[in-house]
Chains A and B, each alone.
Chain A
Amino acid sequence: EAGVAQSPRYKIIEKRQSVAFWCNPISGHATLYWYQQILGQGPKLLIQFQNNGVVDDSQLPKDRFSAERLKGVDSTLKIQPAKLEDSAVYLCASSLVGGARTDTQYFGPGTRLTVL
């Protein structure tokens, strides 16, 4: 079974530039998550989709971050414009839907973003 795919793996940009990350979840997983993980901290949920609808985006800084999952499969996360404090690893995860099965998330390899 193929895992969660993410690209790019690494990205270095200057502040105020824009950047986009891509995620393809495990086939059949209706729920998709984007997390931000700053060095030394646990992942912080940015946004959660079920199919192409948003379940939770309460911690997404909407003035600069946006995400979409138009066809209910792959997803993109965009930052525009980037700030220094956005330097982090951005993790995508997916899970099945239904009670506790939703809690077992499978993570992609992450994208390490460095903002200079």
Chain B
Amino acid sequence: EDKVVQSPLSLVVHEGDTVTLNCSYEVTNFRSLLWYKQEKKAPTFLFMLTSSGIEKKSGRLSSILDKKELFSILNITATQTGDSAVYLCVSGAGSYQLTFGKGTKLSVIP
């Protein structure tokens, strides 16, 4: 059975801190690894990673995939209170199969 495991499950940091969220996966016919941000509404897309070692960046967020060790990390630098959310890691595999992790709840306090 395909699975995606995220750690930590929750995290509390102060504004300005840098955080690293982890995602490991075990899927058959892996195709892609996606990160979503979910506030009090539907998930919004952050990154899709398909190749190892190529960092994707968007502002203060960045992510990288390691297909040999089967994990990905999401980094957020200089955190702001608006970064408080649940971050979902999702693996795409096979034919139209997506496996969601349980999410990491990030709380950024002023």
Closest A residue by C-beta to B48: A104
Which among A43, A100, A107, A110 is the interface contact of B31 at CB below 8 angstroms?
A100
Q: Are A44 and B96 closer than 8 Å at their CB atoms? A: no
Distance (whole angstroms) from the CB of A23 to the closest CB of chain B: 11
Q: Which residues of A contact B98 (CB under 8 A)?
A: 45, 103, 105
Q: B82 CB to closest chain A CB, in angstroms?
A: 19
CA distance A108 to B101 in the complex (A): 19
Instruction: Mark each residue of chain B from 5 to 19: 1 if its CB lies under 8 Å from any CB of chain A, else 0.
Output: 000000000000000
Judge whether B96 and A55 touch: CB under 8 Å. Answer: yes
Given contacts A100-B48, A100-B92, A102-B96, contact A41 B102 (CB under 8 A): yes
CA A34 to CA B33, docked complex, whole Å: 20
The tally of residues in B whose CB lies under 8 Å from a CB in A reads 21
Nearest to B96 among chain A residues (CB) is A55
Bound CA span A100–B29, Å: 12
Other-chain contact of B42, A31, A48, A108 (Cβ < 8 Å): A108
| A104 contacts across to B, CB distance below 8 A | 34, 45, 48
What CA separation (Å) do A68 and B43 show in the bound complex? 23
Is there contact, CB below 8 Å, between A109 and B31? no
Contact assessment for B32 and A110 in the assembled complex, using a CB-CB cutoff below 8 Å = no
Chain A residue with Cβ nearest B92: A103
**Does A65 lie at the interface of the complex (its beta carbon under 8 Å from any beta carbon of B)?**
no
**For window 18-70 of chain B, which residues contact chain A by CB distance below 8 Å?**
31-32, 34, 41-45, 48, 50
Q: Which residue of A lies closest to B102 (CB)?
A: A42
* B88 neighbours in A (Cβ, 8 Å): 42-43
A selection of 19 A-B contacts at a CB cut-off of 8 Å is A4-B42, A41-B103, A42-B100, A42-B101, A44-B100, A55-B95, A55-B96, A91-B42, A91-B43, A100-B48, A100-B92, A103-B32, A103-B48, A103-B90, A103-B98, A104-B48, A107-B42, A107-B44, A110-B42
9 additional A-B pairs beyond A50-B96, A100-B92, A103-B31, beta carbons within 8 Å, are A4-B42, A40-B102, A41-B102, A42-B100, A42-B101, A102-B92, A104-B48, A106-B45, A110-B41
